[in-house]
Amino acid sequence: SHLSALAKSRTFEPAVIYGRNKERISFLANKFDLIAADSLEEILDGHNVSLVDISTSNDLHYSYALAALQAGISVIVEKPAAFTSSNVETLVDEAKKRDLMVSICFQKRFNKSFKRVLSFLAKGDQGTFLHGETNVFMPRKSSYYKSKWHNSVELAGGGVLIYHAIHDLDLLCLLLGKVKSIDGEIQNTYHSTEVEDTVHLIMNFGSGGTHHFHASTDPGHTPRIETRMVFENGTLSFNDIGHKWSRYKEPVLKVRSYAGNSLKSRILDRFYGLGNYRDILGDMGSFFSKKTDNVTSKLATAVETHRVIETFYNQARKIES
Write out pLDDT tens, residues 254-294: 776 555 556 676 677 777 778 899 999 999 998 988 777 78
Residue 230's beta-bridge partner residues?
A: 131, 235
d(CA 67, CA 177): 30
Tell me the pTM: 0.94
pLDDT at residue 141 in the model? 92
The CATH 3.40.50.720 portion of the chain extends over 2-106+278-289
pLDDT at residue 253 in the model? 85
pLDDT at residue 209 in the model? 97
Strand runs (DSSP E) across the chain, as ranges?
16-17, 35-36, 51-54, 74-77, 102-104, 129-137, 179-187, 198-205, 210-216, 224-231, 234-238, 243-246
d(CA 30, CA 197): 37
pLDDT at residue 318 in the model? 84
d(CA 285, CA 278): 10
Backbone angles phi and psi of 17, in degrees to 5: -135, 145
The CATH 3.30.360.10 portion of the chain extends over 112-274
Pairing mode, if any, of strands 51-54 and 16-17? unpaired
pLDDT at residue 174 in the model? 97
**Architecture, CATH, for domain 112-274:** 2-Layer Sandwich (3.30)
Q: For 2-106+278-289, which CATH superfamily applies?
A: NAD(P)-binding Rossmann-like Domain (3.40.50.720)
Q: Please name which of 185, 238, 193, 239 lies closest in space to residue 215, comparing C-alpha atoms.
A: 185
Backbone angles phi and psi of 156, in degrees to 5: -95, -30
Q: Which residues of the chain have pLDDT under 70?
A: 256-263, 265-266, 320-321
